[in-house]
Amino acid sequence: MKFMLMMHVPAAAPQGAGIQAWSQDDVKAHMGFMHALNTDLKSSGEFIDAQGLDFPPRPRIVRAQGNGTPLVTDGPFVETKELLVGFWIVECATPERAVAIAARASSAPGPGGSALNMPIEVREVVAAPAV
């Protein structure tokens, strides 16, 4: 079973309050934690992919216009209390294992070494219906 684990942060955080505002030591501790998690998932054969994502307003929204050409804007973004900032794709034997991985990712250290306890959304990746 494949799962997407999506890491969220509060959308109301002031611009620049993300990891870019952390001390060098806090960034190193956080990234070391994430690299260790990914290494463990690779060792267990559960790792497929993991990536960080950029914050608004730099991402773009693309919609097809009537003639099919792209209309690219910098928003408006979907109203939300949280922003998606990263993800993992993992392959696990059970949904419970995906939840356990998400809990570990949630406990990544933040400023001062305290666990962030950030929300990690867990969704099964489902196959498209046969046509």
Residue range 58-111, pLDDT digits in tens: 788 888 999 999 998 876 666 677 788 899 999 999 999 999 999 999 999 999
pTM: 0.84
- pLDDT (0 to 100) of residue 58: 77
Q: Kindly write down the DSSP assignment for every residue of 14-46, as one continuous string.
A: PTT-SGGGS-HHHHHHHHHHHHHHHHHHHHHT-
Q: How far is CA 24 from CA 28, 86, 98, 115, in A?
A: 6, 20, 30, 17
User: Looking at domain 2-124, does it have CATH number 3.30.70.1060?
Assistant: yes
Residue range 12-43, pLDDT digits in tens: 665 556 787 889 999 999 999 999 999 999 99
Q: How do the domains of the chain map onto residue ranges?
A: 2-124
Tokens 């419970």 correspond to: 96
Picking from 4, 15, 7, the residue whose alpha carbon sits closest to that of residue 117 is 7
